[in-house]
Structures are given as structure tokens and as C-alpha cells.
Structure 1
């Protein structure tokens, strides 16, 4: 009886010791990128051979199952799957534009693409970015429309070439050209503008302003006639006359100058000097020449000039005379005018009394030519008259629109 009781106590002790020595994984659960432990696997305590399953986070998809098992106080991989970002279909292309990856490296969950319009087009959508979501790409496909520019208002003096018939918008790259048909006006600003990116012209539209010439500072020994009181600027066509303040002096240069195009005087201002007995070589005549010539002339001697073919002598007398050391009688060879087909087409005009020709028409100084509008165009309100005269190589062309 005594030996049986001793054996029973030994068995009970061995069972209690085995239970207390059972393995438990008490440390933190394994960490799997972009995954979490399933609710079914969560326990307060994990014993030997317990298994933990993982599921992928939102936006990720499994590539194989993921599970760990408790073995000898450690977590051991059973299935080594991964969680990968959910892919999106290839993004849609937008007409007249393109996209590039803005965030990320591939078309997967969380990646962002940015759309950009091609040159000459502009984004009309509020959003130019799309993000890969679980349900696909966010936002609508952006839209690119052609860049267009609205012409600015101009004053009545400016002639604009290149405007649409309906005064509508002009597309990217379209060029407008400007001119001032009245010789009394000059263009202030760029003579041409281009419709650029963003629907803006690359320069402001120019204006036509009055041509003005400034009076020179007071010239020694010279009286200037024609300067307005309290005004140092004179408009196109204004004339100044000069005379020597000392009657014994001789005026060297032109006795009269005219305010001409681009705000320049027709000639340099003269000077007054004491008279001399000899003159040097005859002065050069633009578009003309002398008949013979010497290096020195006595006072009272003359030299004959002639103009090139097509040019007219002004005044008709072709002689300059040496007087007190200077050459008198200003002579000018007045230029002929040329009328080409290209500028006439630009101004929408043609000859009224001549059939259409494809050669250059020449008109000598003083000749008149009459024009008319082509087709159904009409004379512009700011145009010069149809009948124009050649004045020293300049003939203003009317403008029809």
C-alpha cells in the first residue's frame, strides 16, 4: 500500500511540470510590409504551433499567402507571400497633350500622373493631375484646347494686317503687322506681334503718333525763322529758314529744312562764316554727278550737274555757282516711285486705269496714279485718297478692307 501511494505522487508531479513548461510566443507579432494580422488570428496569447495569418492593407493585393507559426518562442515563416500595390490600367491619352509620372515609378495604387498640353494648346480643365485609386484613375481626363488670342483695340490711325474678317480670335503663332499709312504719323511700338503661349500677344499693339522734329540749340551767327513760340517740337512738314545775322557772312548749307519722316530734318542745319575767294571741289549730288570738275574754283565760276536716268532735277537749272567760298543754288535729284504688286495685294488695291500687271510700275516725280479696291473690299476710314502723287520717291498707297 505504501509503494502505490508513492508512485501516484510521482505521476502527478510530472504532469504539472510538463504543463508549466509549454512554449509560448510572447513577443511582438511579425511585421509584414503593407499587411496586417487578420481578425481571426488575433489572440491574447500564442502557444506552440499557433499560426498567424496576414491580409493586405487597403490598395494592395496579395502575391501568395502570408502566415507565421509559433515555434520555440519564435515566429517562423510558413508562407512568404507579399502585398503589392494594386495596379491601374494604362492612363488615357489626351488629344494635343501628354502625361508623365509625377509621383511613383509605375501605374499602381498611389501613383500620380500629370498632364501637359503641347505647344500651341492650353489646359481648360481645372485638374491636370490624376491618381491611381482602388477603383481606377481619379478625376476626369484633362482637355487641351488650341491657344487663341483676342485682338486688342487700336486707334483709327493704325492699319492692321492679318486680322480675321469677323474680328474673331487668332490661334497660336498667328502674326499681325502694323503700319501708319499717313506720312505725318510714325509707328510707336513693335511693327508686328505674335499670338504666344497662354493666349497672350508677345507685345502690346503699337500706336501711330504725330511725327515731330526737335529744334536744334541756338546756332552761332545764324537766325532761325519758323520756330513756334514756347514750343521746341514741330510736326511733319514744318519748315525752318536760316539767314546769317551778319550781312557780311555767307550761309553754308541749306537755307531751308523740312521736318520729314521719322522725325528727322531734311538737311543738316547750316552755319555762317566769313566769305572766301575760292571754293573747293563741287559738292556730291545724291543720284547725280557733275559734268567734269576741278579741285578749285574762283568765286563766280559755275559747274554743271546731271541726274541719273529716271530722276528729275530740282530746280530745273543744272548749275551750281561758287560764291564767296561756298557753292550756291541747292540742287536735288528727285527720286522716281516704284509700285510693286506685293504691297498692293497687302493693301487690297489695284490700278484703276491699268490692267493687272505682274511687273513693277515706275512713276517719275510729280506723276499721279489712281487706285481702286479689289473685289468687294472698301476703302478704310483711315486710308489716304485713291489718287496719289509721286513725291521724291514716296507714293502713299490707299488701304481697303
Structure 2
């Protein structure tokens, strides 16, 4: 009896003889019925997709009892049906997985629309089909009628206004529109319709005729000025604009920014020049645009192509041509028996002089100075005086067959020169001129030995002998 009970227990244990217990259960599929308490190894059961699910492509709905008493099956062989894209006008939906059975989505509306209904939906089963259990609507957001204004009117204001629509205003004659002429329907944080701004005003705006001392108008001429009229100012010569040069007539009938001022511009003291002076006296300051005429100082003259007018500029500085006066030139000095040393002969130049040998300079320099309406040397040109005036040479040496031109004089002063010549038939050999030079401060001497006069025949023979020999050689 005990053995029979033990055998029954062993047969009932799973896996002992290769049997499987009841097949697995799936959310998406159901096994064939009726179910048994156990199944033998190798048996296959074909499952059927539950409502809301369909067979997955490429997968088998069969499960098999294995030799280890477990069931084998492919995963997710049934998948949920798709609810498809929900149709929501003027809106869109958001999802994080898919659109299959069991999925949940949320709705949002486009700008200018607000959601009417639940903000989410689920893909659910009904009558063995799936569908979205909720599709809300996106209604356009309306604005209340636009505000009316005094002394003006709406353009196309007799209609309903929703998000994005605009309305414009205009003013009656002689009234200016202050603010934005157009406002549009928008929304607040609570998705309630509201206008983008307040309605404009229609006002009478008149600004006084603007005037700026020492200034002038460059635009905006006329005497009547209304809202947003502009006037542009500039300053008269010698004045600097302080403030904005462009002003606008604003809603409170005043000019903004405030009218500018034209402040005078001054230069400092008139410039000083070494070569010129102003024709009239001026103070320590001069208004910009002031022109001063200068005249050249004595010793100077106007430079060609240069203006002697000096002008006070708008930046507070004086302008002038460079070196509009140049130095005058003295006559070129000359000195007998000497030379002048100088780079030029212009006003205030000092020149120096040197004498030739044998002469003594009595004054070494001269300066070019003012003289009348021009310039001249401050003194008469110096001269070169002969040195050693009492130094004498005796009678020049006499020569044979010749003579000198000293005549019968027996004394010759320093620097005297005599010339020698030969009688006919004789030729002069040596220096033809002798000069009396100083030996010391008391006596002189002739600077060279006298020449000689040699016989002319001997010289002719010496000179003609080579010619005769050449003629004999050539058999002439």
C-alpha cells in the first residue's frame, strides 16, 4: 500500500517523467481551451491573440513543452493594434512610446487656440476594435471688442476679433495720433484674449516755433509744427553746437530733446612771428572765423603764392601758411684783390672777406641789414690794401743779347713785374717775367733768376740736322 502511494506521488511531480504543468498566461494572447492539468513533452499549443492585439509579423504563436518540463515561446508574438493618428484641428499631440493599444498621448493647441476637453487620451478597446477614448477641440481665442477713442475712429472695427487679428485707428482732422496706430489680439498667461497695447490717443499738438541764438535751421522750415515734426539746426560760423542738432515735436507740445545752444568758439592770443606782425591789435581771444592780416617786418618780403591772412578755426586754433614772409637779399658784394666767403646774402647774414697774397684786409666782415624799404650791407665793402708798400727792389738784372721793359728805373715797388725779350736771332731760355717780392719788411728781391738769350743759328742747325738726315735716307 505504501509503495503504491509513493509511485503516485512521483508521477505527480513535474519533470519527473517529462510532463509540463498548465501553459503560461499572456496579457496579449490566450491558450486553447479547455486546459489540462499536465501536458506531455513535445506537445505544441497554438495561442490566439486577445482582442486589441494582432499577430506580430515573423513570430509564431505556438508554445512547446520541453523535456525539462518548461514551456518555450517567442516573446511578444501578439502586439497591440494601432489607434492611428488622432485628428485634432489647430493642435497637435505628444507621445513617448507608440500609438498602439494601451498607449497614452497628450494634446496641445497651436498658438492662438485653447484646449476644450481633456488634455490626454488613451488607445482603448471597444467592440473588439481600438480607438482614442478622447479627442478634444482647439478653439480660437477671442478678444473683446477693441476700445474706442475720442476724436478718432476704428478702421474695420465692426467684426469679431480672434488671436492675431489687428485693428487700426485714425484721428479726426487737426488731431494727431499719439501711440501705436495698430494693435493686435494676443493672449495672456492664462490663454485669455487681450489687446497688445492700449489704444492710441487723438490730441491737438502744437510746438512753438523753435529759435536758436547764433544758429540756423537746416531743415524743418515753417512756423507751424505738429506731432513728430522735426527740425535740424546748425550754428553760425564761429560757434559750436552744444546738444542735439535734431529736435522733435512730442505729444506734450514740447521739443525733445531740448533745443541746443550755439556757443561761441574762441582762439587764444594772436600768433607771433619773427618775420611778420599783425596790422591791427587784438585782445587775448578772438571769435572763430576772425581773420587777421599780417605784414612782413623790415628785412622780409611776401613769399610767392603764400597768404599773409591768419584765421581762427572752429577748433580754437589759428591757421597760417608757413613762412609767408621770406628774407630779402642784399646785393652780392665784391672785393678787389680778395674773395667773399658766404652761403647766401640774405637779411641778417654776415659775410667774411679774405685778401689775396700780398694784400692786407682792412675790415673782415659785413652784415646784411635793413636799409630804407629794403636791405643793404651795414658798411661799405672792405678793401684789400697792398702789403709792404715801401719795400723796393733794385734794377732788374740785365741779360746779354736781350733787354727788359723796366726802362731806366732803378727802384721797383713790391709786386712790380718786368718782362724780358731777346734781340733778333736769339731765343729766350728761362722765365720771361720777374716779380718784385718782399724779402723782409724793408727790402725786396726779384723772385726768379733772369732768363738767357742764346744764339739763333746754333739752334737752327741743331733743329734742321735730323731733317737733312731723313731726306738723305729717303733719297729725296
TM-score after normalising by structure 1: 0.38
Could you say which structure has the greater relative contact order, defined with CA pairs below 8 angstroms and 6 or more residues apart?
A: 1
